[in-house]
Homo-oligomer: A and B are copies of this chain.
Amino acid sequence: MPESVDQIRIAILGASGYTGAELVRMLARHPAADVRVLTAERQAGKPLAEVFPHLAYLNLPNLVKIEQVDWSEIDFVFCGLPHGTTQEIIRALPHTVKIVDLSADFRLSDPASYAQWYGHEHAAVELQREAVYGLTEFNRQGVRSARLVANPGCYPTATLIPLLPLVLDGLIQTDDIIVDAKSGVSGAGRDAKQANLFCEVSEGMHAYGVGHHRHMPEMEQELSIAAGVPVTMAFTPHLIPMNRGEFITTYVKLAGKNGPDDLRAALAARFENEPFVQVLPAGVVPHTKHVRGSNQVHISVFKDRLPGRAIVLSVLDNLVKGASGQAIQNFNVMNGLIETMGLEQAPMFP
């Protein structure tokens, strides 16, 4: 590693889940990252090798409880705790520490919306207001000066990246957006649940959370801001028997005389200089396998057989651009580093 980059001292809270492992995988090659602390409440005391044998050779510190952390030694926190547990913990952190929170706790800026979707009042409303929504490609300025970034959900990231420019440019109608989403199983986390056993999940698929998935208000919030009017949408997620990957099929109504080629051209222009977003040529279908393990998003636009409609396809790796990769991207922006640092790994195929 080049010596010249200043090391940023990092704590990963909730390091025993898949996003935790993914942060470690990528930060291990990040020249400015110095991973000092890994927490995991139930596994505290164990070496990381016991929960993630594949990371044993990296010689990282043992897992500890959050209360054991000496915050004077930490500059930056990646917070990967379960939704709902994060608010009080982050409020207690010293203000010298910057945070990317990977949970859903700070993604909804409206406390009423949070209470409605999560069933209880928000425990740190002032932080909810302070938090910056970290969809990096659309909010670099905000992220750069933020102390607390709410890392977007995987579905919102995959959905909003192609949709936001179309809404902002008025190319599609905002009252009839239908998002059919498909995700690999790692999005469901590492908790021992019967529904996620190999024998329950493999060789089959199903929808879930039909009509009421919690990523919906997050998407509607960002689309509404872009549209300048409240946006309601349809969103149906499906569980696919694969570890990683998210495939979003969005059915949109065209505004004015625009056709699919106009949409594709607008997206290509919008993302021309973005290192992590590729707009595919006409006729090329994205595959989740083509972005697996990388921070890439692939987008393509197709003509629909229904007149006045188009189909927008987008893919990403839910653990990378959909979680830990985007978190590191935000970390880079918050610390004035090159945005791609530590995120140069190519997709792994097959």
Contacts and interface: CB of A to CB of B under 8 A. Distances in A.
Interface string A281-318: 00011111111111010100011111101010101000
A345 interface: yes
B196 A346 contact: no
Contacts of A212: 305
A337 to B, nearest CB: 15
Interface string A110-129: 00000000000000000000
Given A210-B311, A211-B302, A192 B190 contact: no
A262 interface: no
Interface stretch (A23-31, A70-78, A144-152): A23-31
Given A206-B287, A247-B206, A349 B54 contact: yes
Interface stretch (A91-99, A162-170, A238-246): A238-246
Interface size class of chain A, counting residues whose CB lies under 8 Å from the partner chain: 35 or more
Contacts of A180: 180, 236, 249, 251
A228 B278 CA distance: 44
Contacts of A58: 346
A294 B207 CA distance: 20
Given A203-B350, A234-B304, 7 more contacts: A53-B298, A54-B290, A55-B346, A206-B285, A206-B286, A206-B289, A241-B241
Interface of A: 2, 18, 21, 24-25, 28-29, 52-58, 176, 178, 180, 182, 185-186, 190-194, 196-208, 210-212, 216, 232-236, 238, 240-245, 247, 249, 251, 278, 284-294, 296, 298, 302-307, 309, 311, 313, 315, 344-350
